[in-house]
Amino acid sequence: MRKLLDKIPLTLLVVLCLTLGLAPFMPLPHLLEKLKMLASGELSDPVDIFDLLLHGAPWVLLVLKLFFLTTSADQEQSP
């Protein structure tokens, strides 16, 4: 998994988060809408679950990439 994430440029992940991760922008981004549905227990339709996975995937990948970047930087600094 880490090798695959190393091949994906950080800028591409940021662009995906800002476009697919937040689309549609009005009235409320799908990701936020689906997270609200999840928190209230209303996320039950397969289409809604797919939407959550689709719009949340770039954010998960970005967080993982940043985590791996910071842990590798910490390992390089330790003697």
> Is residue 58 scored above 70 in pLDDT?
yes
Which domain, by its residues, includes 37?
A: 2-67
Asked whether residue 33 is assigned to any structural domain, the reply reads yes
Is residue 61 in a domain? yes
Indicate whether 45 belongs to any domain: yes
In a domain, 24, yes or no: yes
Split into its structural domains, the chain has a count of 1
Residue 79: inside a domain, yes or no?
Answer: no
Q: What is the DSSP letter of 41?
A: T
31-57 tens-digit pLDDT: 898 899 999 999 999 998 998 999 999
Helix axes 46-77, 30-40, angle to 10 degrees: 100
Q: What residue has token string 């549609």? A: 24
> Any idea what DSSP says for residue 74?
H
Residue 77 lies in a domain: no
Average predicted confidence (pLDDT) for the chain:
87
Q: Are the CB atoms for 8 and 58 separated by under 8 Å?
A: no
Inside any domain, residue 73: no
